[in-house]
Structures are given as structure tokens and as C-alpha cells.
A and B are shown apart, each in its own frame.
Chain A
Amino acid sequence: MARPMQVSRYWRHFREKYMLIGGKCENGHVHFPKRSVCPVCGSREIEEIELSGKGKVLSWTIVRNPPSGFEYYKPFPLALVELEEGPVVLTQLTDVDPEEIDFGMEVEVVTKKIREFEEDGIILYGYKFRPPVK
């Protein structure tokens, strides 16, 4: 990527990406990220909900040929994590031995660096998931 991204593009999602803010409709359907329309029942009455950040690994992979901008991190584990409130989140796993990842493995959210841009670029932070720290 020749030029870094503008701060605005990243800033508008900082609450979701730092605090896992999702949506809960009037009928109790929880989703992440928050939408204007509930994907289950179509309701537009949606309140914000902070998700617990605890979940289990649904499926995972090891990314060996990442999109440009992520070369520095390769190989890295990427997973679908099912949160205890129901929604599934696509996320990188961190602080884990790739050999130990398994179906149903418990994980918790942690804020980490996602990537950096060159020189005058911003540094992106966001959620990743790791095995719980005991």
C-alpha cells in the first residue's frame, strides 16, 4: 500500500474494535458488529451492548500468504470465535501455540496491535483473542 489510511476510516470503529460493542434488538437478538436492522427479525429498535469477550473457537486456520500489509506477521492464526452471547467474530488468535488450537478451545478478548503503516502512518489496534490468562 503506497499511502497510509486516513485516521477517520479507522476512528469510527474504535468502540467496536476496542470494547466489542455490538447490538441487541428489542426481541433480544444479539449481533456484532452493531447494525441498523436486526439480521434475524428485521427490527430497527436496537440498543448497544458491550460483549463479554469470552468465547470458544469455532474454526481456525494459519494464514501463510496474507494480504499485503500483513506480511510481517506471517504465519498467524485466524479464527471464528463464538462469543458466549451468541455472535461469531472473525479474529486473529494471539499468545497461543498454533498446535494447541482446537475446536471449542476457550478464548478471551485482548486489545493488540493489528498492523502498522509506513513512516507517517497510523498504527491500528483492535481485538484479538487468546487463551484465558489464569
Chain B
Amino acid sequence: MRKAVIIGAGMTPVGEHWRLGLRDLAVEALLKAMDDAGIEKVDSLYVGNMISGPFVEQENLGALIADWAGLGNIPAVKIEAACASGGAAVQEGVKAVLSGLEDVVAVVGVEKMTDAWPSDATRYLAYAADAEWELFHGASFVALNALIMRYYMKAYGYTEEDLALFAVNAHANGAKNPYAMFKRPIKVETVLKSPYVADPLKLFDASPVCDGAASVIITTPEKAKELGVPKEKWVEVAGMGRAIDTISLASREDLLTLKAAKVAAERAYKMAGVEAKDIDFFEVHDAFTVMAALSLEALGAAKKGEGAKLAKEGQIAIDADYPIQTMGGLKARGHPVGATGVYQTVEAVLQLRGEAPSQVPDAEIGLTQNIGGTGSNITVNVFRRV
């Protein structure tokens, strides 16, 4: 079977880009990734994006971005899997390379969220929920996660303070990332003093509304050699998995198990031939602090109910056993929804190349996990240093 390697990565800073539109962000990240790989042409483009239609009245992103990036008459499509669109787009790119149909593939994840009114942004994000049975009743995405958070705290006896540790860790790492939206450390009190958005979930338990784009170039080792890309730049896509769960929270068999993450991780681990204990760093989808805890459990880094315990025991820091969110996570780097999975990929590439601003020493294997919906659509990717 063919192998897939990432040979180029690029991103824009995450933030409120008032002067840049969706196409500007996407093209900037894409061209940076192509320059990083030292190539001028790609066979196809996969765009990870969640809700460009409502946010900026633009669909057909494949054509828009390929056209404005000057990629010629290549195939180009948008991949949508809610907030997991970026992770899914990376996987579609890898699949195209592994199938042998395409040799050099570009993936770009992009989202432009700050062009909309805040309450409309809240509505658009809730499009990832069940429109007829959740959004109909006024559920925001934050509210759905708050229902999980309260239940999690009750089930295992955790406090708001315990979960705040995930935000503190993310900000500590994000402070060193020049591409992060929030480049300052915070304290537990900062989280606890922030206003409730949906009790018990506070503003600082949540990732921000923001803009950004990230991009990677995928090919085979043979082609990478042929293109003359130095081997230090290669990062292997060793394993990947994707799975869904019920779209509505009310239908979930167990509110506190990210079943889709579990299944996706099993597939990714099997393909890569690794186990959770082999992973040197985890980029989990901490859109909300409780999701970081549930993700660590689903990925096998912690036992059920002990995800938050890892944070309490100081095991999620850069120099600990289970470093997570090494470049700030969704919380501090920012969460431009459809772009996030590609940002995570770019960050994994930087870690495995040894170029990350807060480097995990001797990182060889890294994992990214990207959640769509309230856990309804999840991708897990495993990357390995070549």
C-alpha cells in the first residue's frame, strides 16, 4: 500500500481578521504551505469548511480558492463535517493520495466567523446540532456542552475549578504560539470569574469565535523525493479513523462517552500500529473544557471518568506524560471551526519536525482529534516523524 506524507504546512494567525475575507485567509495559508513544500502545482484541493454559506454567503469554496490561488483547472471540493470539517478534509486528501488517483494534494481549512452578528454566529454554529429537535428549542452549542459538563461534574464529583485547569494549560501553551489568538497565560480564577454563558459553562471554558486558515500538502514518499523535498520536512500520516454518533444529545446512549472518538481512535491506532501509550502528544478538541476531559478518556489516555484527573495531577503539561494542546488548543489558539482540524495537523507537523514554539522533547508520534457537533462526527489522525 502507498504511504502518505505531509511535505508542506502553512497557516494564518487566528484572530479577528477585519481586513481579510475568507478567500484571502485560505489563499494565504495555502500558498504558505506550497512554498513550504517548494512546489508550484498540486493535483487537487480539498477545502475543510463548516458554514461559509450562512457566515459569508459563499459556497463552492473549491472553485473559489483554487481559482484565487492560481491552481488551474484542478478538481477542488469542500468537505463538511461540522467542526470536524478540517480533520475530515485532511483525511479525504490522504485517501486521494493512498488510492493512487492523485499524487500531490492540497488541503486547506478555513472559516470566517467574525463577519456575522454574535447571536447569528451562535445560531449558525448550532446548525451542527439537530435543527428540528435541538435548535428548535433554542439550544446553542454552548448550552448543549453545558448539559454534558454539569452531568460530568455530578457523575465524578469534579468542580468548575477542576475543569478550568484545561483552559489554564491551553493558555500557558498558547502564550508561546505566535499564531494563537490569545497569547497570554491565565489563572484558574480568570476562568472562574468569567461570566456564565450557559451554567455551569463560563466564557473561559469555551473557545472563541474567530477567523483563520491552515493548509497542508500531502503526497507519497516517492513523489516527495522526486520533488526534491528534504526529508526533514516529511511527516507521515500513519493512521486515521472517523466515526459518527447520534446527532442529538438526547439520543446518546451514554452522555459521558465520546463513542465516535473511541471508534475513530481504534481505527487510527490500528492503522498506525500504535497504542495510546505510544502517543507523545495529543491535540484534542477542547472547544469546551469538558470536551478535553471526555476526549482524553475516549482516546485511551485516561480511564472513564478520569480525564479531568489527568489535569489535576499535572499530567497534561508539555513536559508531562500526556501533553495536550501544545500550541494553545482551540481555547487559546482559537477555533475557526472548519479550519481547526487543519490547524491541529499543521501543529502536529511542527511538533514532529521539532519546530514547535513549545516543543515536546523528542516527539515521534502525535495524535489530533477533531470533534464535529456534540461528539456526533469525529476524526482522529495519527502522525509519525519520518
Contact = CB atoms under 8 A, between A and B. Distances in A.
Interface residues of B, number: 39
A66 B146 contact: no
A31 B252 CA distance: 11
B147 A80 contact: yes
A61 interface: yes
A18 B347 CA distance: 49
B119 A68 contact: yes
B122 A65 contact: yes
A58 B254 CA distance: 12
A117 interface: no
Contact of A65 (B137, B148, B154, B197): B197
Interface stretch (B159-167, B242-250, B264-272, B331-339): B242-250
A78 B123 contact: no
Interface of A: 1, 13, 31-33, 39, 58-71, 73, 76, 78-80, 87-92, 103, 114-115, 124, 126
A99 to B, nearest CB: 11
A60 B140 CA distance: 13
Given A63-B198, A64-B196, A88 B251 contact: yes
A98 to B, nearest CB: 8
B362 interface: no
A80 B146 CA distance: 11
A79 to B, nearest CB: 7
A31 B255 CA distance: 16
Contacts of B140: 63, 65-67
Given A59-B255, A61-B201, A78-B147, A91 B137 contact: yes
Contact of A70 (B138, B144, B154, B251): B138
A67 B122 contact: yes
B308 interface: no
Contacts of B250: 32, 80, 87-90
A87 B253 CA distance: 10
27 contacts: A13-B132, A33-B133, A59-B151, A60-B147, A60-B150, A61-B146, A62-B198, A63-B139, A63-B198, A64-B195, A64-B196, A64-B199, A66-B140, A67-B122, A67-B139, A70-B138, A73-B138, A78-B139, A78-B143, A79-B147, A80-B250, A80-B255, A90-B134, A90-B137, A90-B249, A103-B154, A114-B136
A32 B154 CA distance: 25
B120 interface: yes
B126 interface: yes
Nearest to B140: A67
A62 B199 contact: yes
Contacts of A39: 246, 251
Given A39-B246, A78-B143, A66 B122 contact: yes
Contact of B196 (A62, A78, A103, A114): A62
Interface string B87-128: 000000000000000000000000000000111101100100
B39 interface: no
B196 A90 contact: no
B135 interface: yes
Given A58-B151, A67-B135, A68-B120, A31 B251 contact: yes
B123 A126 contact: no
A67 B138 contact: yes
Given A63-B198, A67-B122, A76 B138 contact: yes
A92 B143 CA distance: 11
A78 B138 contact: yes
A61 B147 contact: yes
A39 B132 CA distance: 18
A80 B143 contact: no
A96 B363 CA distance: 53
B257 to A, nearest CB: 15
B33 interface: no
A115 B123 CA distance: 14
A114 B120 contact: no
B143 A61 contact: yes
B142 interface: yes
Contacts of A115: 138
Contact of A69 (B123, B133, B200, B249): B123
Contacts of B246: 39
A71 B143 contact: no
A66 B139 CA distance: 7
A63 B120 contact: no
Nearest to B129: A90
